[in-house]
Amino acid sequence: MSNQPIGVFDSGLGGLSVLLEIERQLPAEDLVYVADSAHAPYGAKTADYMAERCIKISDFLLSQRVKVIVVACNTATAYAAEVLRQHLTIPIIGLEPAVKPAVKLTQTGKIGVLATRQTANSARLQRLIDTYAQNTQVVVQACPGLVEHVEAGDFNSAELKQLLSEYLKPLQEQGVDTLVLGCTHYPFLRQTLMELIQGQMTIVETSQAVTRQVVNILTQHQLLQTNPLAQRRVQFYSSLQGELLEKSAKSAALLWQRELELLSLPAEFR
Ligand code: DGL
């Protein structure tokens, strides 16, 4: 099984921020990525809708013989990771906002979390805060609209900056010094965020930690690719079709920082 690929999915292209890190830390592994862009943003969907989509995508990934699945989406992890674990026998690795590391880093005792509306309202985030941030003030800011900008390959338009400024304002007013990016789309906005926060906050995100977790799980299950001659293969799929798929492929190439081929999922998984 160790020769089989790692499956990674997100509601859209944001999970590429995680895939980039997995690619860097695990250079011999084959990877299959699914962007469920036809159903993004998950942050505006119900838990049942997300669970149904996550099961469909994981069934597709299983048809590609993946050995583990990384849910590269905070929102899907918060609402569907448990359902997936009941549905599948292979390891499922989810991710959640980096509240714990942020609590360690803050000097002012005030951290901010930017997330989708669904993640911001999730019991899972509340549990994280109750567990790790008892003596820290946590300002949680829901950020509807940001995912759509990243999906469209927009990282720094005036309209996006305006939206980000609005979302950062309450955090700045509260004196937050540590900023958790609680959505895998947001690392692609890092440059623009840095411009706006002007060195007043440290940005924390999750892709390195989740990749270490992937390495741990693969090691534990003896699933690490051991063939030193393996030629890595990375495949990309999307639930979009036609012109929208072509457009999305352009955004994906920007995020992936090189050319790629984005294929449409077979109809039964779209
Ligand atoms: N990248 C997803 C996350 O980490 C975005 C979810 C969405 O589509 O709203 O939460």
Q: Please report whether residue 1 resides in a domain.
A: no
| Residue where one domain finishes, among candidates 205, 240, 255 | 205
- Going by pLDDT thresholds of 50, 70 and 90, the confidence category of residue 43 is confident
Q: Can you tell me the mean pLDDT for 53-62?
A: 97
Say if residue 222 is exposed, middle or buried (CB neighbours under 10 Å; 0-12, 13-18, 19+).
exposed
For residue 115, give the ligand 1 atom closest to its CA.
10
> Is any atom of ligand 1 closer than 6 Å to the C-beta of 67?
no
| Residues 6 or more apart in contact with residue 122 via CB below 8 angstroms | 75, 78, 79
pLDDT of residue 172: 97
> Is any atom of ligand 1 closer than 6 Å to the C-beta of 42?
yes
pLDDT of residue 2: 83
Whether 201 and 103 map to the same domain: the answer is: yes
Q: What is the CATH number of the domain that holds 65?
A: 3.40.50.1860
> DSSP 3-state assignment of 78?
helix
pLDDT of residue 226: 81
Q: Can you tell me the mean pLDDT for 132-144?
A: 97
Nearest-angstrom CA–CA distance, 69 and 192: 31
Indicate which residue of 183, 189, 204, 214 is catalytic: 183
- Going by pLDDT thresholds of 50, 70 and 90, the confidence category of residue 254 is very high
Spacing, Cα 147 to ligand 1 middle (Å)? 7
**Contact call for residues 153 and 251 (beta carbons, < 8 A):** yes
Q: Please report whether residue 69 resides in a domain.
A: yes
Check whether 1 has a pLDDT greater than 90: no
**Angle of the 190-197 helix axis to the 158-174 helix axis, nearest 10:** 50
Nearest-angstrom CA–CA distance, 202 and 179: 6
| Residue where one domain finishes, among candidates 162, 188, 205 | 205
Spacing, Cα 17 to ligand 1 middle (Å)? 12
pLDDT of residue 157: 97
Check whether 85 has a pLDDT greater than 90: yes
Range of the domain at 74: 6-95+208-269
Whether 130 and 53 map to the same domain: the answer is: no
Check whether 229 has a pLDDT greater than 80: no
Overall domain count for the chain: 2
Tokens at residue 260, please? 């790629």
Tokens at residue 52, please? 């149904």
Whether 188 and 218 map to the same domain: the answer is: no
Whether 50 and 133 map to the same domain: the answer is: no
Return mean pLDDT, the chain: 95
Tokens at residue 40, please? 């993004």
**Contact call for residues 116 and 142 (beta carbons, < 8 A):** yes
Q: Can you tell me the mean pLDDT for 180-199?
A: 97
For residue 44, give the ligand 1 atom closest to its CA.
9
Whether 197 and 226 map to the same domain: the answer is: no
> Is any atom of ligand 1 closer than 6 Å to the C-beta of 41?
yes
Whether 212 and 226 map to the same domain: the answer is: yes
Give yes or no: 183 in active site. Answer: yes
**Contact call for residues 102 and 180 (beta carbons, < 8 A):** yes
- Going by pLDDT thresholds of 50, 70 and 90, the confidence category of residue 231 is confident
Whether 21 and 88 map to the same domain: the answer is: yes
Give yes or no: 73 in active site. Answer: yes
Whether 176 and 106 map to the same domain: the answer is: yes
User: Tens digit of pLDDT for each residue in 146-170?
Assistant: 999 999 999 999 999 999 999 999 9
Check whether 134 has a pLDDT greater than 90: yes
Range 194-201 contact pairs with CB under 8 angstroms and sequence separation of 24 or more: 195/161, 196/161, 196/164, 196/165, 196/168, 197/168, 197/172, 200/172, 201/112, 201/171, 201/176, 201/177
| Residue where one domain finishes, among candidates 160, 177, 205 | 205
Whether 158 and 234 map to the same domain: the answer is: no
Q: Please report whether residue 81 resides in a domain.
A: yes
pLDDT of residue 236: 98
Give the DSSP letter of residue 266. P
Whether 194 and 230 map to the same domain: the answer is: no
As a whole number of Å, the end-to-end CA separation of the chain is 27
Check whether 5 has a pLDDT greater than 90: yes
Whether 146 and 197 map to the same domain: the answer is: yes
